[in-house]
Amino acid sequence: MNRQHSDIPAHPRDAAAYWFAHVHSGSFTQSDQEAFDSWLQADDLNRKEYQALDKIWQVAGQIPAHELRAMLAEEPEPPQQIQKRLKRWRLTISAVAATIIIVIGFVGLFMPYGWLGEPFYTAEYVTDRGERRTEVLPDGSILEINTQTTALVEYFENRRNVRLAGGEVMFSVETDASRPFTVDAGSGTVLVTGTRFNVLRDQDQVQIAVESGSVEISSGHWWNRRTEQLTDGLGAQIDPDSMTPASPADISTLTAWRQGKIIFKDQPLASVVKEMNRYLPQPITITDHRLDQVRIAGVFNTGDSAAFLQALHKSIPVQVILHADGSTELSLPR
C-alpha cells in the first residue's frame, strides 16, 4: 500500500468506510483509484464490505448530493500536515459511520427493498387490460389482482414485500408479526402484519382502503416522513407531495371490481369514462368537454361498453359515435 494510504484501518468494515469517504470526497485521483483497486482485490471480504456500504448509500439516495459532498470533502494537504489529515480522516470516517447508522435505521423502518439478504421467493404478476386473477402466496396470503396491474412479490426470512408498479390489488394478508408485510406503491408505502385492504396506484397517486384490520401508511422522504393509521372502513389518498387524513371509505364500491362490477355514485362523466377505460380494449373519448362535469350514477359490468353507452344515452343528452376500430366518441348533440 502506498504511503498516501498507510492510515487505512485494519478491519475490513472500517476500511470500507475509509474508502467510501475517500471515493466520494471530490478529490479522488488516479493513484487513489489504483490503491483502492488493490485493496478490493486483496481480500474478498473487502469487496463484500464495500458493496454492502455502497448499497446502503444507494437506498438512502434521497440525501441531497451537496450535503454528502460537504460532509465528505477533503482538500489536498502538504506532507507536513499528515497528522492533522489523519485526525480529520478519523472524523470523516466517524461522520460516514454515523450517517450509515442513521441510514440503516431508516432502511429498516421505511425501505422494504434493502440490501440485507436475498429473497427466498420471488414472483411477478402482470394482468392485461380487462383481466383479473387471484394468486395465493407461500404463506397463504391472497392477492386479488385487477386489470392492468404489475406487482413484484419478494419474500425474505424477516419480511414480505410487494412492489406495486401500477394497477390495483386487494390484499388478504396472513398474520405473521415476525415478518411484516409491506406494499411499496411509489409515493406511498403500506405496512401491515395481517389484514384485508385494497391499494390502487395510478401513476404517482395511491389510494388505500382497509376492509378489516389495520395498516400504517407513510409517504415522503425519511427526514420529513408522514404516517397515518388506517383501521376498518377507513381510507386515504397519497400524492407525491401530500397525504389526505384518514376518512371513511366506501369499501363495497371501491372493491366492486372483484365481482366484475363498477359502481358510480354521482361522479363526473370524465372520471367515469376514465374508470371504464381501464377495462375496455378500445377507449371511450369525450370530445366535447362540456360533458366532463355531468354527474353520473349507476352499476355497470366491467368491460361492457355497449351497456354503459346505452345507459348513458338514455340518461343524458349525448351523441355516441362508434368507430370501426371499436373506439367511441362522446359529444353533445348538434
pLDDT by position in tens, the chain (length 334): 454 666 687 778 778 888 887 776 656 777 888 888 899 999 888 888 888 877 666 555 444 445 545 554 544 445 455 455 445 555 555 555 555 555 555 444 444 444 446 889 999 999 999 999 999 999 999 999 999 999 999 999 889 999 999 999 999 999 998 899 999 998 889 999 789 999 999 988 999 999 999 999 998 765 577 899 999 999 999 998 899 999 999 999 999 999 999 999 999 999 999 999 999 999 999 999 999 999 999 999 999 999 999 999 999 999 999 999 999 999 999 8
The CA distance from 237 to 213, in Å, is 18
The CA distance from 206 to 168, in Å, is 10
The CA distance from 288 to 292, in Å, is 8
260-331 is a CATH 3.55.50.30 domain: yes
Backbone angles phi, psi at 254, to 5 degrees: -65, -30
**Helix axis angle, 30-42 relative to 44-59, nearest 10°?**
120
Backbone angles phi, psi at 73, to 5 degrees: -60, 135
CB neighbour class for 192 (10 Å; exposed up to 12, middle 13-18, buried from 19): buried
Q: Do domains 121-253 and 260-331 have the same CATH topology?
A: no
Q: Do residues 95 and 122 touch, judged by C-beta distance below 8 A?
A: no
Topology of domain 121-253, per CATH? Jelly Rolls (2.60.120)
Domain spans of the chain, in order of start = 3-110, 121-253, 260-331
Q: Which residues make Cβ contacts (< 8 Å) with residue 304, sequence separation at least 6?
A: none
Q: Which residues make Cβ contacts (< 8 Å) with residue 123, sequence separation at least 6?
A: 135, 137, 152, 153
